Amino acid sequence: MNRLPRWLLVALAIGPVTGLAIFYAWPFVTLLAEAVTATAITDTLSRRSTWEIVWFTVWQAVVSTVATIVVGLAPAYVLARFDFRGRTVLVGLLTAMFVLPTVVMGAAFLALLPDSIDRTVWAVIGAHVVFNLAVVVRVVGSLWEHLPTDMEAAAATLGASRWKVATQISMPLVRPAVTAAATIVFLFTFTSYGVIRILGAPGTRTIEVEVWRRATQLGDVGGAAVLALLQLAALVAIVSWSTVAQRRHARAIGLLATSARRRPRTSGEYRFVALIAGAALLVVAAPLAALVLRSFSTPTGWSTTAWTDLGESEIRPGIRLGIDPVEAVVNSLTNAAWATAFAVIVGALASLAIVAAGRAGRALDGGLMLPLATSAVTIGFGMLITFDTAPFDWRASWWLVPVGHALIAVPFVVRTCVGVLRSVDPALVGAAETLGASPVRAWRATVVPYLWRPLAVGAALAASISLGEFGATSFLSRSGGETMPIAIEQLLGRTGSVLQAQGFVLATLLAAATVVLVVIVERLQSPLAGRAGR
Amino acid sequence: MSSRVTPSSRNSSLRGIAAATVVALIVVACGSDDDSATTESTGIPTADSVTLVTYDSFPEADTSLNDALDSFTADTGIDVEILSAGDTGTMLAKASLTAGNPEGDVMWGIDNTLLSRAIADDVFEPYIAGPIADGSVEIAPEFLDLVPNGEATPVDYGDVCVNYDIEWYAERGLDPPSSFADLVDPAYAGQLVVQNPATSSPGLVFLLATIHEYGVEGWQNYWSQLGANGVEVVDSWTQAYYERFTWAGGGPTPMVVSYGSSPPAEVIFADPPRDDAPTGVIEDTCFRQVEFAGVLRGTDAPDAARQLVDFLVSDEFQRELPLNLFVYPTNQAVDLPQQFVDFAVVPDTPRSLDPAVIDAERSTWIDEWTELVLG
């Protein structure tokens, strides 16, 4: 497929490349330049709080990761090994939790926990665990599901207890998957931002939160830049280490082509499955239920006031705090529409270019993935301090927030599309050419038509990412242009019960919108996924 | 495998892609088109409208203060949009990050503790209200001394003091505290809510008051004691006063950092009406605060912005300040309302610090305070 004329490849790639250069590379360079001043570095590194924040960031991530693995292994096992009614629903629910916007997860835990612990690190860790359960269930579960059961059966036959089988046979076999899941969870919790902005006390700060605080509250741009780079360096180190470690520990296991799932047989198995599945369901459903309930809760009892009077955020005659929940919904929808359009256009062009262009295509692919590896906070912060001088002063432009969202969404569009495009049978192109079509015509008739369906999936993903995006938006949105996640954080930061209830209303709406989009993605994707043989 | 998919074939796809490329180029790559420079967040770029950026306790509608602004609109044809941007610290941080491409045209509420930072960050286009410059409005020279180069216009002043709920203490037979030292007494544990000095100007002023009392070496120890005594910290004055304070917010905390002029507000807005103040002021804690209005650098409507600043010092607007923002007008021709004279507390010698010292030490102090109190 590498026979497309060069002009076409250039035409396809130039948009994505330019966009990446302007909105990712340039802000990144600005950030570096901002941080590399001697005073910013020495000030930051000599500040005691810097190291306390680093320490907090690390330990809460470690504790969250360990807790997630511990809590997640049993459901991962049950969901991988047993068939039971409601299994699909439970997997779906767990996955839905994983894709919920961070502020919604924070809000759900705020709603669930009693006041005495809802702004502590334990609330944060609890939210991290529920958030990331799906990672363990999916990553470890997918291995467990295809792991031959004969070794376990043999051990049991030889008289090993259930516990012994689990610890001595099963665990060593799934360890690579556990390590992989732990790495993913650690990365997510290490860069946690939205959950902590909602659930953390003022003193509970990860590096990510401190970048935001220094830049937007204290006006210490240099110090914030140093911290952003410090975090990026840590991320690179962790990812490199885990890549090496996984390669070293890789081992060959004969996996089954089909699933090893079966219905529980003994009454003990039934009870075990029911207990674990029930507990998992409770852990996932309780925060969501609490979220919805709290949106109906007022000091005088149950009421739909917060829903019906969503536009009334007055706390005193005339004093509205500048938060308008209804306007936030409108802003979010507008931003999401544009972000989706940008992400789909750029993602489509990039995917076609990546598939058609060989090595250069792989470079473009890698480049477009970079924003995903960079934290959203870093992206938003970089854009804010880059586009502030004429003629590139774009801080007030309506499209800056959607472009930031698109930057984060493009990797998802590309991943969805490239896989499908790569699976197009090259024989089709050959056949078209044999029948006399020019290379461009053959490409157009055979490859391009496959783009539309994955693009629809990508569009739904992009929309859900934009709706829930909080990190970059917390830097880029201007007063009056607040999106739903920003408004949720502001409303829940207040103690007035009406404002809190309104925050929960917005969080409920956002959760519902996300779930709908995820369902659309699954619907669009499932027949396709089946066809691609995954 | 996948060769059997039936795609929705489109013959015009190449043309579509070409068009999409062009669109992507225009939208994503280019940007120096008409959207970038002029439009502001309100979406109303004409000179017939100015946006007044202010702290979140400034009423947006329905008060006599807003009526006064409406009369400005009636006289000049200039609409005034009010944009609420959090408490003053947050508002200034945003203004610094948007300096040159501001969120509005005029900013109300930067105070003497933050003014030097606003000036250093080039937030304002220097402007002293015309009526003050030409002498038709008289203000105290000490206020003008704060802006030697005409950077901004002094519009109001007041004293930041600890307020307490008189009834709450009476019910418990407890005398309210009368000094900074009392606030760390275990008898008053968990009874004070303050604002974060990084985000809130009264919070910063209160921190400065403690520094004035205990000195640059002693305040840290005092705050450790306050922390041990259960002081609560919130981000903004509205949150502290209207959400946490027992009297005004139905909250759990009977003392709050507020203003010497807060008690008259509680009399005026009391429901049912009352003729005594339900809240008291600890005079010993009062620190003088002066607030400024300025034209934001980079405004699209500099003339209209200056006209608005001129109006902000006029008798017509200044006389509404006491009962709406609970501060004193800088315009000396304005008479104070009777309730204000009766119930506001004006300390004989309010605390203050040299602006140069505040400027030099502010960020260090805020950093130290954050480490000490928020951990």
Identify whether B358 is part of a domain: no
Could A319 and B59 be called an inter-chain contact, meaning their C-beta atoms sit closer than 8 Å? yes
Domains detected in chain A: 57-205+255-294 (1.10.3720.10), 324-379+395-534 (1.10.3720.10)
Alpha helices by DSSP H, listed for chain B, are 13-24, 34-37, 64-76, 88-97, 115-120, 130-133, 141-144, 166-171, 180-183, 201-228, 237-239, 246-249, 262-268, 302-312, 315-318, 321-325, 338-343, 355-369
The fraction of chain B above a pLDDT of 90, given in percent, is 62
Question: pLDDT grade, residue A251 (50/70/90)?
Answer: low
> Closest by alpha carbon to A471, among A331, A376, A332?
A376
Q: Are residues B207 and B296 in the same domain?
A: no
**The dihedral of CA A445, A448, A450, A456: what is its sign?**
negative
Strand B49-54 and strand B79-84: pairing?
parallel
Cβ-nearest to A398 among B13, B39, B366: B39
Instruction: State mean pLDDT over B35-59.
Output: 65
pLDDT, residue B326, reads 86
Identify whether B344 is part of a domain: no
Domain range for B325: 49-157+291-329
* Alpha carbon of A138: minimum distance to chain B alpha carbons (Å): 24
Q: Which of A133-137, B251-255, B273-277 has the lowest mean pLDDT?
A: B273-277
Q: Are residues B127 and B201 in the same domain?
A: no
* Alpha carbon of A432: minimum distance to chain B alpha carbons (Å): 14
Contact between residue B303 and residue B47 where contact means Cβ atoms under 8 Å apart: yes
Q: Are residues B257 and B149 in the same domain?
A: no
Instruction: Say how many C-beta atoms besides its own lie within 10 A of residue A148's C-beta.
Output: 13
Instruction: State mean pLDDT over B337-356.
Output: 87
Opening angle at CA A29, ends A23 and A34, nearest 5: 120
Indicate if the pLDDT at residue B2 is higher than 60. no
Identify whether B336 is part of a domain: no
Q: Are residues B76 and B169 in the same domain?
A: no
What is the dihedral angle through the alpha carbons of B356, B358, B360, B366, rounded to the nearest 10 degrees? -170
**The dihedral of CA A498, A499, A505, A508: what is its sign?**
negative
pTM of the full structure:
0.84
pLDDT, residue B50, reads 94
Identify whether B218 is part of a domain: yes
Place of tokens 């472009």: A403
Could A496 and B242 be called an inter-chain contact, meaning their C-beta atoms sit closer than 8 Å? yes
Identify whether B214 is part of a domain: yes
State how far the Cα of B331 lies from the Cα of B350, in Å rounded to an integer: 20
Could B29 and A219 be called an inter-chain contact, meaning their C-beta atoms sit closer than 8 Å? no
Could B84 and A321 be called an inter-chain contact, meaning their C-beta atoms sit closer than 8 Å? yes
By C-alpha distance, the chain A residue nearest B28 is A19
For the record, the structure tokens of B321 come out as: 């300040």
Q: Looking at B266, B289, B312, which one is the last position of a domain? A: B289
Interface test with B, best of A321, A335, A381 (most B CBs within 10 A): A321
State how far the Cα of A134 lies from the Cα of A47, in Å rounded to an integer: 38
Average pLDDT over chain B reads 86
Strand B255-259 and strand B153-165: pairing?
antiparallel
Q: Are residues B97 and B212 in the same domain?
A: no
| Number of helices followed by number of strands (H, E) in chain A | 25, 2
**The dihedral of CA A251, A255, A259, A264: what is its sign?**
negative
pLDDT in tens, B132-191: 999 999 999 999 999 999 999 999 999 999 999 999 999 999 999 999 999 999 999 999
pLDDT, residue B24, reads 40
Identify whether B65 is part of a domain: yes
Can you tell me the ipTM of this complex?
0.75
pLDDT in tens, A176-208: 899 999 999 999 999 999 999 999 877 788 999
pLDDT in tens, A43-61: 889 888 899 899 999 999 9
Identify whether B152 is part of a domain: yes
Q: Are residues B91 and B239 in the same domain?
A: no
Could B89 and A481 be called an inter-chain contact, meaning their C-beta atoms sit closer than 8 Å? no
Question: pLDDT grade, residue A35 (50/70/90)?
Answer: confident
Instruction: Say how many C-beta atoms besides its own lie within 10 A of residue B199's C-beta.
Output: 28
Residues in chain B with CB shorter than 8 Å from the CB of A399 are 27, 31, 35
Interface test with B, best of A206, A218, A524 (most B CBs within 10 A): A218
For the record, the structure tokens of A164 come out as: 């012994």
Residues in chain A with CB shorter than 8 Å from the CB of B62 are 317-318
Cβ-nearest to A316 among B4, B25, B242: B242
Cβ-nearest to A393 among B28, B37, B242: B37
Interface test with B, best of A477, A478, A492, A500 (most B CBs within 10 A): A478
pLDDT in tens, A2-12: 578 889 999 99
Backbone Cα Rg of chain A: 25
* Alpha carbon of A423: minimum distance to chain B alpha carbons (Å): 7
In the three-class reduction of DSSP (H, G, I as helix; E, B as strand; rest coil), residue A495 is classed as coil
pLDDT, residue A525, reads 73
Q: Are residues B57 and B145 in the same domain?
A: yes
- Say which residues have a Cβ less than 8 Å from residue A469's Cβ, sequence separation at least 6: A101, A376, A404, A405, A408, A483, A485
Could B371 and A481 be called an inter-chain contact, meaning their C-beta atoms sit closer than 8 Å? no
Contact between residue B295 and residue B309 where contact means Cβ atoms under 8 Å apart: yes
Q: Look at chain B and report how many structural domains it folds into.
A: 2
Q: Which residues of B36-75 are buried (b: 16+ CB within 10 A; e: fewer)?
A: bbeebbbeeeeeebbbbbbbbbbbbeebebbebbeebbee
pLDDT, residue A159, reads 87
pLDDT, residue A142, reads 87
Residues in chain B with CB shorter than 8 Å from the CB of A533 are 1-2
Residue A110 CA: distances (Å) to CA of A106, A396, A493, B78: 6, 33, 11, 44
Q: Looking at B238, B262, B289, which one is the last position of a domain? A: B289
Q: Looking at B258, B289, B320, which one is the last position of a domain? A: B289
* Alpha carbon of B240: minimum distance to chain A alpha carbons (Å): 9
State how far the Cα of A81 lies from the Cα of A66, in Å rounded to an integer: 23
Indicate if the pLDDT at residue A117 is higher than 80. no
Q: Are residues B284 and B181 in the same domain?
A: yes
Q: Which of A260-264, A436-440, B41-45, B317-321 has the lowest mean pLDDT?
A: B41-45
Beta-carbon contacts below 8 Å between A and B: 220
Indicate if the pLDDT at residue A248 is higher than 80. no
Could B5 and A531 be called an inter-chain contact, meaning their C-beta atoms sit closer than 8 Å? yes
* Alpha carbon of A169: minimum distance to chain B alpha carbons (Å): 36
State how far the Cα of B277 lies from the Cα of B272, in Å rounded to an integer: 13
pLDDT in tens, A398-420: 999 999 999 999 999 999 999 89
Q: How far is CA B298 from the centre of its chain?
A: 21
Q: Which residues of B329-348 are buried (b: 16+ CB within 10 A; e: fewer)?
A: bbbeebebeebbeebbbebe
Q: Are residues B162 and B280 in the same domain?
A: yes
Residues in chain A with CB shorter than 8 Å from the CB of B207 are none
Opening angle at CA A40, ends A39 and A41, nearest 5: 90
pLDDT, residue A249, reads 67
> Closest by alpha carbon to A68, among A94, A92, A45, A88?
A94
Q: Are residues B235 and B271 in the same domain?
A: yes
Identify whether B345 is part of a domain: no
- Bridge partners of B165, per DSSP, are B279
State how far the Cα of B24 lies from the Cα of A254, in Å rounded to an integer: 47
Q: Are residues B136 and B201 in the same domain?
A: no
The CATH number that applies at residue B226 is 3.40.190.10
| Side-chain-facing half-sphere of A410: CA atoms under 13 Å | 32
Q: Are residues B278 and B162 in the same domain?
A: yes
pLDDT in tens, B76-93: 999 999 998 888 988 998
State how far the Cα of B165 lies from the Cα of B176, in Å rounded to an integer: 9
* Alpha carbon of A420: minimum distance to chain B alpha carbons (Å): 8
pLDDT, residue A298, reads 76
Instruction: Say how many C-beta atoms besides its own lie within 10 A of residue A263's C-beta.
Output: 11
pLDDT in tens, A347-393: 999 999 999 888 888 899 999 999 988 899 999 999 998 998 878 88
Average pLDDT over chain A reads 88
Instruction: State mean pLDDT over A284-297.
Output: 92
Could B94 and A216 be called an inter-chain contact, meaning their C-beta atoms sit closer than 8 Å? yes
